[in-house]
Amino acid sequence: MISFDIVELKKPLVRTEHPTPQPEDHQVLVRVLAAGVCHSDLHIWHGTYDLGNGKTLSMMDRGMKLPLTPGHEIAGEVVAVGDKVKNIEIGKNYVIYPWHGCGECKVCRRGDENLCLNGKSLGIYQPGGYSDYVLVSDSRYLVDIGDMSPVQAAPYACSGLTTYSAIRKIKEQVLKDEKVVLFGAGGLGLMAITLIKALGGAGVLVIDPDESKHAAALQAGADAVFNPRKDDIATEIKKAAGGAVWAIIDCVGSSQTIQAGQDMLTKGGQLVQIGLFGGHIDISTPFMVLKAMTYQGTYVGNLRELQELIALVKDKHLPPVATTCMHFSKAFTALLALEEGKAVGRQVLTPGNLDA
Ligand SMILES: [Zn+2]
Ligand SMILES: [Zn+2]
């Protein structure tokens, strides 16, 4: 098998050949048909997250080891299974749940493997999808995508799951009754708009300073879009939301967006953050109580949520997010395009030379 690996942080990915593994016991060997290039792959490649105030969080300190094959948004065809695998068909396509936990701790047993402290996520702590094959440790991580295209399915493993899990954290009645305010109309934002609509949400109001993204947000189903550099957004958003803002999803996560979001929330409101832009905020502690405010972070999602999401996409025939496909040998080009802000839609690596 061939993979494109991070051998040194911030250096070009290295093409590596290894023997293709044979699955044993509960393992499954998947031929990668689509691997999404996610923004967190950039953090992994840099080896750090910006914590604000000049501080950074090191991925190596968190147990990441090099060389590493990145890629956690993976869909593909099962080509071989271990002898204990049941209910998985060779030749069928699946999306892989990549947020593996240790499988033994309390959190994992509760089904929240994405929150395990000894996580073994694919593409971070185990070889991921920038490769022609991936070995999955247990068949239960495979979710049947039916006749959905692997290119559509792959991004649901991270950007789709992250937004789905964030939306699920909003009180059900609030989601039905109130328009959700969304910071950021990039990939996560567009996914969130589509999913809020699919889940029967009352509407979405989008805030993004980049007006070139506004048309796509409206097309995805946003009720209105705002430019925070031009508009007096606090007043206008409240008006557009029907008087008060109850729920915010922040796909940016900068000091400015979180501060603006907190200031905008009404009493009892919720702010759910999925963006990892970096920064820090000051919280006036009495306001947490007096406004009965919820400020919650959410990290990807659990296996059950991925299963629900795939069922929702199938059931509502949701359109795929905009993607640019490229041969998986172009993994590093894709990563650089993301770094330079030049990526158009979700970049997905494929084994076929689809856009060449
Ligand atoms: Zn991701
Ligand atoms: Zn665990």
pLDDT value for 173 = 98
- 78 C-alpha vs ligand 1 centroid, how far in Å? 22
pTM confidence score: 0.94
**Ligand nearest to the Cα of 36, by number:** 1
Confidence of residue 63 (pLDDT cuts 50, 70, 90): confident
- 237 C-alpha vs ligand 1 centroid, how far in Å? 29
Q: Is 169 helix (H, G, I), strand (E, B) or coil?
A: coil
Q: Give the torsion sign (CA, 19, 45, 282, 165).
A: negative
Question: What is the average pLDDT score of the chain?
Answer: 94
d(CA 13, CA 193): 33
Confidence of residue 343 (pLDDT cuts 50, 70, 90): confident
Which tokens is 16 given? Answer: 């590596």
Q: By percentage, how much of the chain surpasses pLDDT 90?
A: 84
Domain 2-157+301-350 classification at class level? alpha beta
Q: Which range among 5-14, 85-94, 277-286, 347-356 shows the weakest confidence by mean pLDDT?
A: 347-356
For the segment 247-258, the average pLDDT, to the nearest whole number, is 96
**Ligand nearest to the Cα of 114, by number:** 2
Strand 48-52, strand 55-58: pairing: antiparallel
Q: Find the Cα–Cα–Cα–Cα dihedral 283, 286, 289, 295, rounded to 10°.
A: 0
Confidence of residue 342 (pLDDT cuts 50, 70, 90): confident
- 75 C-alpha vs ligand 1 centroid, how far in Å? 14
- 98 C-alpha vs ligand 1 centroid, how far in Å? 10
For the segment 77-102, the average pLDDT, to the nearest whole number, is 97
CA 194-346-309 angle, 5° bins:
40
Strand 14-17, strand 55-58: pairing: unpaired
Confidence of residue 353 (pLDDT cuts 50, 70, 90): low
- 120 C-alpha vs ligand 2 centroid, how far in Å? 9
For the segment 258-267, the average pLDDT, to the nearest whole number, is 95
**Ligand nearest to the Cα of 162, by number:** 1
Residues with CB under 5 Å of ion ligand 2 are 101-102, 105, 108, 116
- 157 C-alpha vs ligand 1 centroid, how far in Å? 8
d(CA 329, CA 68): 16
Q: Which range among 40-49, 131-140, 160-169 shows the weakest confidence by mean pLDDT?
A: 40-49
pLDDT value for 48 = 85
- 160 C-alpha vs ligand 1 centroid, how far in Å? 9
- 351 C-alpha vs ligand 1 centroid, how far in Å? 20
Picking from 268, 272, 232, the residue whose alpha carbon sits closest to that of residue 248 is: 272
Tell me the pLDDT tens digit for each residue of 204-223.
Answer: 999 999 998 899 999 999 99
Picking from 103, 150, 160, the residue whose alpha carbon sits closest to that of residue 129 is: 150
Q: Is the pLDDT of residue 354 over 70?
A: no
- 108 C-alpha vs ligand 2 centroid, how far in Å? 4
- 193 C-alpha vs ligand 1 centroid, how far in Å? 18
41 to each of 134, 151, 177, how far by Cα in Å?
Answer: 17, 18, 36
- 272 near 298, Cβ under 8 Å? yes
**Ligand nearest to the Cα of 111, by number:** 2
- 235 near 204, Cβ under 8 Å? no
The fold adopted by the segment(s) 161-297 is: Rossmann fold (3.40.50)
CA 164-282-271 angle, 5° bins:
20
pLDDT value for 326 = 94
pLDDT value for 355 = 40
Q: Is the pLDDT of residue 242 over 90?
A: yes
Q: Is the pLDDT of residue 356 over 50?
A: no
- 141 C-alpha vs ligand 2 centroid, how far in Å? 15
Q: Domain segments of the chain: what residues?
A: 2-157+301-350, 161-297
pLDDT value for 30 = 98
d(CA 108, CA 302): 10
